Structure 1
Amino acid sequence: MARTTPHDHPLTEGEPLYRKIATQLLGELHDGTIPPGERLPGERQLAEHFGVSRETVRQALQLLRRDGLVATDRRGSHAALPGLPVETPASSGFPLGAGGAAHNAVTRTTVAWEAPPPGHAEALDVAPGRPTLVHRYWSASAGGRELRTAVTSFSAVALAEVEELSRYRDRADGTCAAELRRAYDWMRRAGLSLHHRDTITRIAGTPSVRVTRRVHDQFGRPLEVTELVMDAQEDVLVYEFMVPAAV
């Protein structure tokens, strides 16, 4: 972040300084200086960046938290804005199937801290009944003609290695909207090479297919399992590919 000074953002008469800083910070969140879901710099760094006191920064963050634009947990504050990330993802998008949804589709995403669905726990080496981070995705095209639903469970390894994922634990109540489109890039940036295995199976008697994705790292440790159900007329197909860790 480039350093600014108070002279770079003169106060409007009568406007509190913390509100001005909140507006400046919100602008940087919108323009992608701090991408959606990324952790914000600490209060001291923000104070130096804007040329104000830490108390002013604290008040500005509180204002943004009140409006749901910034979330804070034990790991710090991070942007909670919806929207596309500025940088182009270097690997396939998350969740599985989201990239193929119709342009005008209506989507919903949530995260919960709960026991994973049947079959996920064993694949992720999670003890039966033990909770983990579970992400749900729902997408429907205009008129509801094309429907996609996906459920993803993350392993303990993924949560331990990838800070951006672990911070969702404290607010994963099943209703919290989740901006995880860069999940695979977060994994790569944490030094993990991603081995995807996607199995596509036609669901008998329906126009739908089930796609099951399992992701491991370079050490063979499971990272996540996703099950996607979508309308299609495809036969079974299995393919694998590797995404190297970020250098």
Structure 2
Amino acid sequence: MARTDHPVSETQPLYWRVATELLCELRNGPPGGRLPSERRLAGRFGVSRETVRQALEVLRRDGLVATDRRGSHTTLPGLPVETPAALTFPVGARAAEPGADRTTVTWETPPPAHAEALGLAPHRPTLVHRYESADADGRGRRTAVTSFSAVALSEVEELGRYRDRADGAASAQLRRTYDWMRKAGLTLHHRDSITRLADTPSVRVTRRVHDQYARPLEITDLLVDAQQDALVYEFTLPAAG
């Protein structure tokens, strides 16, 4: 039997192509990482669950995936999972004493620029997260507004649960958002643009996050009291499973 690390071609069965694409993702993930459910994989690749089962069987026969009572996981060696500090949400959030920052979530129409970036129809509501923080002396104030896409809410179970309690009143700690996304099988690509605002002591940070299929997941606008020149950088976090 030919192994799945051979080049893919259009003449190969659909399940074989799915197996090959999935293997590429697994090689960039952490060792022993769990795979998303068959339903999620079917939706991600745009195929039936039966096709996904066939693809997983190919990987199992090659010893690349193992299945137990909790589901399937990779048996490949991989990159270690990043430290929690590297996954802090939202961009700009900092360690603080309890009560030093304020976080809330609402179900509302996002800012127009956010709706456009996320591919949302005009006036369509979504989950919006707000973050505020300041030093003990009131300086170094940071405020962030994050809007999530329909993809993020449908594929990341922990985020989807917030819809029914997004009343803007209760505190909402979403610091593990990126960890949740990676555990859902999403590879995260961040693009952060940092721009100094004219005639003010502040900078604006705009973070856009999309997955390995170029689907938008979230956009955050952060305002920070600081002096900073414009800067743009990008990085990618592999999916956790």
TM-score (norm 1): 0.62
The aligned residue for residue 98 of structure 1 is 93
With over 3 angstroms needed to count, the CA separation of the structure-2 counterparts of 1:172 and 1:189, relative to structure 1, is: same
Per the alignment, residue 132 of structure 2 pairs with 138
Q: In the TM superposition, what are the counterparts of 1:1-247 in structure 2 within 5 Å?
A: 89=84, 91-99=86-94, 106-247=100-241
Percent identical residues:
73
Cα deviation, residue 91, structure 1 = 3.9
- Deviation readout 1:7-26 (Å, 9 max, x if unpaired): xxxxxxxxxxxxxxxxxxxx
Letter in 2 for 1:150: A
Task: Label 1:224 to 1:239 Cα distance change in 2 as closer, same or farther (>3 A).
Answer: same
Report if the CA contact (8 A) 1:90-1:185 is conserved.
no
Q: Structure 2: which amino acid aligns with 1:224?
A: E
CA contact (8 A) 1:107 1:137 kept: yes
Which moved further from structure 2: 89-98 or 195-204? 89-98
Deviations 1:177-200 (A, max 9, x none): 111000000000000000000000
Deviations 1:135-162 (Å, cap 9, x if unpaired)? Answer: 0000011120110000000000000000
Q: Give SS of 1:128's match.
A: coil
- In the aligned structure 2, how far is the partner of 1:144 from the partner of 1:118? 30
The one-character-per-residue Cα deviations of 1:66-112 (angstroms, maximum 9, x if unpaired) are xxxxxxxxxxxxxxxxxxxxx9527420011003x666981000000
> How many Å apart are 1:204 and its aligned residue?
0.4
Q: Partner of 2:87: helix, strand, or coil?
A: coil
TM-score by length of 2: 0.63
- The 1:207/1:104 distance shift into structure 2, 3 A limit, reads farther
- SS of equivalent residue, structure 1 residue 142: coil
Contact 1:91 1:185 (8 Å CA) reproduced: no
1:24 aligns with none
Instruction: Report the CA distance between 1:175 and its aligned residue.
Output: 1.1
- SS of 2:213's partner is coil
Q: Deviations over 1:205-234 (max 9, x none)?
A: 001000000000000000000000001111
Aligned equivalents of 1:102, 1:113: Cα separation in 2: 26
Kindly indicate whether structure 1 or structure 2 has the higher relative contact order, using CA contacts under 8 Å at least 6 residues apart. Answer: 2
Deviation at 1:127, TM superposition (A): 0.6
Report how many residues are paired: 160
Query: Contact 2:87–2:176 (CA<8 Å) still a contact in 1?
Result: no
